[in-house]
Amino acid sequence: MFDKLKKVTSRYHEIADLLSKPDAVNDQKEYRRLSKEYSDLTEIVSKYDEYGKTKSRLEENKKLLYETSDVEMKELASAEQEELQQKFDKLEAEIKELLVPKDPNDSKNAILEIRAGTGGDEAALFAADLYRMYSRYAEKKGWKMETVTYNESSGLGGLKEVIINVTGNDIYGALKYESGVHRVQRVPETETQGRVHTSAASVAVLPEADEVDVEVNSVDLKIDVFRSGGAGGQNVNKVETAIRITHIPTGVVVQCQDERSQLKNKQKAMKVLRSRLLEAEIEKQNQLVSQKRKLMVGSGDRSDKIRTYNFPQNRLTDHRIGLTMYNLSLIMEGDLDELFEKLKIADRAEKLSEETHA
């Protein structure tokens, strides 16, 4: 731990020196990157400074405790010793947690994809419910949601697929644990006998990739232009504005027809394409990591059944961490903070365990 702290402190002072130079603001991108790194390191350095001061006080108080013969002074020193020891242990635990490597993508915006799975109309309705749940949560957080693709299912107001670009502060870090298969157990609207059915929807959360994150060569792209589908509207029927982009080396296909402008559809599609290519690289790394991990919280494996929503019992179960909550009605209204915090804590605990045994 102390070797890492020395490196962190050294880097902290190095960045402080770089940012203090007059020409530091000439490269705005580099300046923002250094400022973000400096801000992240400040918390660790501050904790370490407090840790050092507490350690010194603890040693001084311990010396006083053994040297003094005054009974009253001994009692005071003993009480303070207990308080200082608790503070020291807490600071040590906090520093260890802060030293766990952060996911560099946590601060990025995200591409959120929701698709109906097995279960027909009920699966499409559940996909629409998940979309509403995340939309409510985003609204509470002050995030912006921009639709890339929105495909309704026929009848009942369900969704086949929706892709949204979510922007704000630390979006990917908040939503990344949602990737996977979400299973629902409830009585469908179409069920006349009152029987509980099981169906599913899949969720994928991708970090929004910048152009510098993923290099896409134009010669590797096949771009098709076609008329937008959907009901009514002269533009929909007569103008070819929809875009389909195929990344030939990987076979990844993205299409967008939400905008009336061909250029805007292309820009949105390229954003999703870059994010999917970045996710593919991250997934390769995660496959190696997840083989060693007991929990799959941060793996992003979309084939895993991660959660069950049981409506008759108002129960939500997250299978990755063995969590059961009986406030499903509130969760479906976007009350997700407690759930997300428990997932983050479990993920941090697992990473901390790996760091300790590394």
- Contact 164/148 with Cβ under 8 angstroms? yes
Our CA angle for 292, 297, 299, nearest 5°, is 60
pLDDT, tens digit, for every residue of 168-182? 988 999 999 999 999
Return d(Cα 293, Cα 308) in angstroms, integer. Answer: 22
pLDDT confidence band for 310 (50 / 70 / 90): very high
Decide yes or no: CATH 1.10.287 for domain 2-98: no
Domain ranges of the chain: 2-98, 110-213+294-357, 218-282
Averaged pLDDT, 322-350: 93
The rounded percent of the chain whose pLDDT value lies above 70 is: 88
Higher per-residue pLDDT: 15 or 191: 15
Cα–Cα distances (Å) from 293 to 81, 307, 353, 354, 355, in that order, read 39, 19, 10, 8, 12
Instruction: Inform me whether the pLDDT recorded for 247 exceeds 80.
Output: yes
Higher per-residue pLDDT: 144 or 303: 144
**Model pLDDT, residue 282:** 74
Instruction: Inform me whether the pLDDT recorded for 235 exceeds 60.
Output: no
- Measured over all CA atoms, what is the biggest interatomic distance in the chain, rounded to whole angstroms? 96
Residues contacting residue 97 through CB under 8 Å, at least 6 positions apart: 348, 352
CATH number belonging to domain 110-213+294-357 = 3.30.70.1660
Residues contacting residue 122 through CB under 8 Å, at least 6 positions apart: 184, 188, 189, 190, 197, 199
**Model pLDDT, residue 68:** 80
Q: Is the pTM of this model over 0.75?
A: no
**Model pLDDT, residue 290:** 52
Averaged pLDDT, 237-243: 69
Decide yes or no: CATH 2.60.40.10 for domain 218-282: no
